[in-house]
């Protein structure tokens, strides 16, 4: 089983359009899938679930859709936070949340605080997140420390940079899933996906469920992760 699963939840708009509904109906249906996937992951022993909810490029969408997504984020979080608390889920939002309304920022901080002591599933919601943003803000932190004389440039290593990314305290994703048929990363976790197993499906996010998720886990369990080594070495390790 993967310890950390990262998902690009794609296909909400097309799901709605296929039904002759407005795009927002797809986003709303997508929230239900989030709840279901979270519960299955909890049951299956996944420790960390990272979901891409809004990318740093999604601001380019029509104003109306962006506004609706912000409202949906607020109402869904507001409604679900007590359930998260009860289900022992710890919530963390990753991304540049300073771009959100102060009302949403407050709710995020409050939700993280309410679930802070939970030790079950860690649910990371990537909102106004971009892999390039993450690496840039990490580089800026390093530069500030160098400028302040607290860090020697020779001391900068993969570890020092990784320690300044959005979630330095959790292992990189083991399994990446993208629904909706596109075969790309769309500026999701760039650094952290270096050795992640990638899994794609055509199912649109609102239609994604237990069957697809268990299929992804089964496929994952058959993969051999070599991290640069050869098969014989890896087989010798188990
Ligand atoms: C993913 O679904 C959700 C967000 C990006 C917020 P889309 O809205 O991208 O759905 P499609 O890809 O247009 O079908
Ligand atoms: C990626 O989906 C972002 C999220 C799911 C939040 P997009 O639908 O925005 O990706 P592109 O634009 O098709 O690459
Ligand atoms: Mg999309």
Query: What is the set of domains in the chain, with CATH numbers?
Result: 4-130+173-221 (3.40.1180.10)
- Ligand 1 centroid to Cα of residue 160, in Å, is 34
Cα separation, 133 vs 201, in Å, equals 27
* pLDDT, mean of residues 143-164: 98
The answer to whether 88 and 115 have CB atoms below 8 angstroms apart is no
pTM for the predicted model, two decimal places? 0.98
Q: How far is the CA of 162 from the centre of ligand 1 (A)?
A: 29
**Strand, helix or coil at 61?**
coil
List alpha helices for 45-114, DSSP H.
Answer: 63-86, 102-114
**What would the pLDDT profile of 201-226 be if each residue is shown by its tens digit?**
999 999 999 999 999 999 999 999 99
Q: What pLDDT, in 10s, does the model give residues 65-106?
A: 999 999 999 999 999 999 999 999 999 999 999 999 999 999
Is it the case that residue 238 has pLDDT exceeding 80? no
| pLDDT of 237 strictly over 90 | no
Rg (CA), the chain: 19
Quickly state the pLDDT bin for 160 (edges 50, 70, 90): very high
Q: Are strands 197-200 and 4-8 parallel, antiparallel or unpaired?
A: unpaired
Mean pLDDT of the chain: 98
Q: Ligand 1 in contact with 111 (CB < 6 A)?
A: no
């Amino acid at each position: 089983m993967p310890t950390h699963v990262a998902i690009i939840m794609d296909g909400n708009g097309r799901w709605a359009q296929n039904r002759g509904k407005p795009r927002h109906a797809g986003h709303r249906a997508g929230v239900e899938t989030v709840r279901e996937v979270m519960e299955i992951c909890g049951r299956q022993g996944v420790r960390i679930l990272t979901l891409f909810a809004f990318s740093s490029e999604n601001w380019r969408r029509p104003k109306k859709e962006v506004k609706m997504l912000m409202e949906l984020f607020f109402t869904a979080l507001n409604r679900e936070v007590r359930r998260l608390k009860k289900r022992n889920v710890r919530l963390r939002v990753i991304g540049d949340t300073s771009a959100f309304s102060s009302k949403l920022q407050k709710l995020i901080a409050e939700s993280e605080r309410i679930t802070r002591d939970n030790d079950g599933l860690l649910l990371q919601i990537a909102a106004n997140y971009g892999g390039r943003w993450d690496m840039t803000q990490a580089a800026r932190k390093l530069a500030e420390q160098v400028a302040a004389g607290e860090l020697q440039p020779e001391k900068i290593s993969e570890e020092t940079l990784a320690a300044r990314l959005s979630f330095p305290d959790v292992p990189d994703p083991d399994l990446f899933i993208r629904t909706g048929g596109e075969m790309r990363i769309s500026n999701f976790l760039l650094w952290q996906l270096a050795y992640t197993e990638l899994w794609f499906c055509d199912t649109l996010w609102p239609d994604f469920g237990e069957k697809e998720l268990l299929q992804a886990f089964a496929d994952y369990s058959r993969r051999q992760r070599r991290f640069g080594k050869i098969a014989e070495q890896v087989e010798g390790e188990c």
